[in-house]
A and B are shown apart, each in its own frame.
Chain A
Amino acid sequence: MDYAFFQAYWWFLVSLLGALLVFLFFVQGGQTLLYTIGKTEQERTMLVNSLGRKWDITFTTLVTFGGAAFASFPLFYATSFGGAYWPWMLLLVCFVLQAVSYEWRTKAGNIFGHKMFETFLFINGFGGLILFGIAVGTFFTGSDFTVNKGDLTQLAMPVISTWHTPWHGLEAVLNVRNLLLGFSIFFLARVLGSLYFINNIADDMIVKRSRKQVLRDAIAFLVMFLPFLVWTFFSQGFAVQPDSGVVFLEKGKYFFNFIQMPLVGLLFLVGVVSLLYGIFLGAFSKSSTKGIWFAGIGSVLAVLTLLLNIGYNNTSFYPSIYDLQSSLTIFNSSSSFFTLKVMSVVSLLIPFVLAYIVYVWRVMDKKQIDKAEMDEDNVKY
């Protein structure tokens, strides 16, 4: 197993974390629906408690995604976070607001009242999702940065990564394609949120409204995502000459990547179909609660394969439109061979981590949340 293998392996892991994160964003999506699906205080309490048992896994996945990106692709971490300062910082702010909201919201001593923390949950849902989507959009559309390692010895200005817009990342908001992806993630998360409620809560009204909501958000999702996809497939992609490492623009690059990596392409299709089937179950089935599983697996596959698409097959995953040759690939931005190997050993723990999470969820979700449980004076959010 050579260096390139481990670089590909870590790109796979980072992409998997990103994909799981998008699935787990059902929490954020659900948060934006608290007042749409929950019409009474009691219904909202059920929704909040249902999400409240999952939010910290989403949060932890985000943090681990960051940690893994730092450890395996430090040049990306340095360039993107230090350059696109604003979108990332605002994204973090959205998550900081979320972390305390479930726990403190209904506590007697909370002098700001529960409305404020519900607003925080909404900000986290709305802002967190859209900013995340926009930030990931730049992986396809490119950003304005340069990397010059020689700058390290420039005593007056030793910073090697430079961002070339004064907006420090906010300019990404003006790119329509980034916005399309941002809103795709937003509506997808809402679809997943509703599907999760259908699965997790035993309450006729909530389930009924959630089913309606699945359809609405699914339509909005498709309206945003299909143009993004078509546009991305057939516009210029950031390709890399394998021998020289020279980056150049290639029309249809992302489409051809799927053709040239048929397994990845196939899994992408499977993902999309599974997602659509999950939506169908959620919106049209009378009794099935399984939509979340199909849609969940579908979105994991779709996001995973999209990220593999831009990492593999001589593609730049974090391109610079300011200076093409500063674009980042999994080869020029990764950690050393040694570090990747060490961390790969640690990564063998991941199946165990997944296993205990699944086990715990099964134990905790054996019984759906219902009104009776909320009325018991047990611990609740």
Chain B
Amino acid sequence: MGTLDLSIIDWSRAQFAVTALYHWLSVPLTLSLGFIMAVMETLYYRTGNEEWKRMTKFWMHLFAANFVLGIAGGIILEFQFGTNWSNYSWLVGDIFGAPLAIEGIMAFFLESTFFVVMIFGWNKTSKGFHLVSTWLTWVGATLSALWILVANAWMQYPTGTFFNIDTVRNEMTSFSAVLFSPVAMSKFFHTVTSSWIVGAAFVIGVSSWYLLKKRNIEFSHKSILIASVFGLAGILLTIFTGDSSAYQVAQKQPMKLAAMEGLYHGKNGTSLIAFGVLNPEKKVYNDSIPPFLFKMSIPDGLSWLAYHHLHAFVPGVQDLLDGSYLLTMANGEQIKPLTTDEKLTFGRMSHQAMIDYRLAKKDKNDSLMSVNRAIFDATSPYFGYGYVKTKTQLVPNVPLTFYAFHFMVIFGGFFLLFFALLLYFRRKIQNMKWLLWLGIFSIPLAYLTSFSGWIVAEVGRQPWAIQDLLPTFAAVSNVPVSSIKTTLTIFVLIYTVFFITIVGVMTREIRKGPESIK
């Protein structure tokens, strides 16, 4: 048996983070550029204008170079659940595996089959069939996002499941509860629509560069127009879905919300931090050091965001860990959630019940079995708390979550303004150098904003791999740290080579420009 080397957890997490990060370099662009070029090809199909075809093909080249990077990263993410998170895979594979399998059957084949037609089929298929293939490639990509986000959402809010003491794992009880969980829906729409911003920024950035170089003028204006309409739709939907995400977080992961806002003590009518600087001196959640050096806030904003009620109580970190409080729901109803101490007790009880149940089973002692089963069934939603030693383990990294959240929201505001400006000035932007430069810088900004969203979602939910059920440190595989370090190094090396290559390939294609396309 022995003891688990705790650095296994850090290295496994590092490996997951690095591989996910590389994967996310590609995905948002696939989800968005796929749509933009499908629109362009539709215009070609309807007008027969060769210019649209050239535009489609140009963006398609960039799409393809990026798409394969996503495939390279995705395979690791999928198998990594087994290789590095084997306990997790067993404990929740019954629920978590299904969306992954469905993703393969429903989405990946669609994507990869029609990708080939899209790239090589220009002269081999009819115009109509080709157009359909381009759309299907995008549909496949978006469907794949749906399934993987359903899986991710389930980790944040495990619903439609029960913990089976006999098989020692969580089992699915309702597929529709998993698929249509409110967290899954807000996550899917927020992730997909926010990705549109990335593609829009990409097209705008590249086109701005042409305009600065005074080449491909017509091409660039048209591309910017399509991209800004798409981007504006994207950011409006992002704000809307971000708001519902925040509402879901407040209900299902109040600790994450507290970390996002650097909130330690809640009150009725909590304000939303618009901008703030955290106090680096604050080390422990219950010390007396004030959390902020500086802040600007919107009165009652957080209560509204979190509970859609101006005077709702929003619990802070300390309320969640040490206190008990009343929650006001949107309809004014008040409820009293479990305290952390209660959850910790339940967690320990469920562990003990499982141990006793298994002993009783060995001894074939039916009455003892049924007593322990009853205790387990009542307490197992908090099974994960049985692993928690101190309350401080339950606090995620507040500064990282806080800054990432505010970065995301502030740049959400920026992109709203940005796309609106482009649509307002239209062709005049040609002479507005600063705006064109801003266009170029909007590419990295969009990626960073998107990344920070993931930091909020994934750092903010720590220590949980599955909310309340399984902390990350009980989810790992027992693989030597040296092995994980080695594979991580291999991945970093490979991905670095890939990153250099794709930047080279893309820059070169962009320099060559649409005029090189026959």
Contact = CB atoms under 8 A, between A and B. Distances in A.
Partners in one complex: yes
Interface of A: 53, 56-57, 59-60, 62-64, 66-68, 70-72, 74-75, 77-83, 85-86, 88-89, 92-93, 95-97, 99-100, 102-104, 107-112, 149-163, 166, 168, 335-336, 338-339, 342-343, 346-347, 349-350, 353, 356-357, 360, 363-364, 366-367, 377-379
Interface secondary structure of B, over-half rule: helix
Contacts of A162: 478
B124 A57 contact: no
B109 A153 contact: no
A242 B476 CA distance: 33
B175 interface: yes
A379 B78 contact: no
B501 A111 contact: yes
A74 B89 CA distance: 6
A100 B86 contact: no
Closest 9 CB pairs of A and B: A74-B93, A82-B86, A109-B508, A81-B82, A64-B104, A71-B97, A82-B477, A99-B72, A71-B101
A168 B8 CA distance: 15
* Interface SS majority for chain A: helix
B209 interface: no
Contacts of A346: 101-102, 105-106
B93 A70 contact: yes
Contacts of A353: 105, 109-110
B407 interface: no
B307 interface: no
27 contacts: A59-B112, A60-B109, A62-B75, A67-B78, A67-B101, A67-B103, A67-B105, A70-B97, A71-B100, A72-B101, A74-B89, A80-B82, A82-B479, A83-B86, A93-B491, A100-B498, A104-B502, A109-B506, A110-B504, A111-B501, A111-B504, A152-B354, A349-B105, A349-B106, A360-B114, A360-B116, A367-B124
A118 B446 CA distance: 34
A357 B117 CA distance: 11
Nearest to A86: B483
B480 A78 contact: no
A343 B104 contact: no
B500 interface: yes
A363 B124 contact: yes
Interface of B: 1-4, 61, 64-65, 67-69, 71-76, 78-79, 81-91, 93-98, 100-106, 108-117, 119-125, 129, 164, 167-169, 171-173, 175, 351, 354-355, 358, 386-387, 474, 476-480, 483, 487, 490-491, 494, 497-498, 500-502, 504-509, 512, 518
Contact of B505 (A53, A77, A96, A104): A104
B83 to A, nearest CB: 5
B483 A85 contact: yes
Contact of A357 (B113, B124, B355): B113
Contacts of B480: 166, 168
Given A79-B86, A153-B386, A100 B75 contact: no
Contact of A336 (B171, B355, B476): B171
A81 B79 contact: yes
A64 B108 CA distance: 8
A71 B106 CA distance: 14
A72 B509 CA distance: 44
| Chain B CB within 10 A, most for which of A95, A339, A367 | A339
B158 to A, nearest CB: 14
Given A100-B501, A107-B505, A160-B90, A336 B167 contact: yes
Contacts of A92: 75-76, 79
Nearest to A345: B175
B75 A159 contact: no
B95 A339 contact: yes
A112 B501 contact: yes
B117 A363 contact: yes
A153 B372 CA distance: 15
A92 B94 CA distance: 23
Contact of A159 (B87, B93, B106, B487): B87
A56 B118 CA distance: 13
A54 to B, nearest CB: 8
Nearest to A363: B125
Nearest to A117: B501
B172 to A, nearest CB: 5
Contact of A63 (B75, B86, B169, B491): B75
B121 A107 contact: no
Contacts of B494: 93, 96-97
Nearest to B353: A153
A78 B268 CA distance: 46
A342 B94 CA distance: 11
A158 B76 contact: no
Contacts of A342: 98, 172, 175
Nearest to A358: B113
A59 B68 CA distance: 11
Given A74-B90, A339-B172, A64 B105 contact: yes
Contact of A74 (B69, B71, B94, B483): B94
B518 A377 contact: yes
Contact of A363 (B97, B121, B483): B121
A160 B476 CA distance: 10
A80 B83 CA distance: 8
A170 B476 CA distance: 20
Contacts of A166: 480
Contact of A339 (B64, B94, B477, B504): B94
Given A153-B351, A342-B172, A360-B113, A82 B501 contact: no
Nearest to A88: B83
A210 B410 CA distance: 60
Given A70-B93, A336-B171, A350 B3 contact: no
Contacts of A70: 78, 81-82, 89, 93, 96-97, 100-101
A160 B119 CA distance: 46
Give the residue among B172, B478, B512 with the most A Cβ atoms within 10 A: B478
A203 to B, nearest CB: 18
B393 to A, nearest CB: 13
A339 B83 contact: no
Given A82-B86, A160-B87, 18 more contacts: A64-B101, A67-B104, A70-B78, A77-B89, A95-B75, A104-B505, A111-B501, A158-B474, A159-B87, A160-B90, A161-B90, A166-B480, A168-B480, A343-B101, A346-B106, A360-B114, A364-B120, A379-B122
Contacts of B120: 53, 364, 379
Contacts of B87: 78, 82, 152, 158-161
A72 B106 CA distance: 16
Given A66-B78, A78-B93, A93-B490, A338 B173 contact: yes
A102 B102 CA distance: 27
Contact of A56 (B71, B95, B129, B502): B71
B93 A107 contact: no
A357 B83 contact: no
A99 B100 contact: no
B167 A100 contact: no
A346 B511 CA distance: 45
Contacts of B98: 71, 335, 339, 342-343
A78 B82 contact: yes
B167 A60 contact: no
A71 B507 CA distance: 41
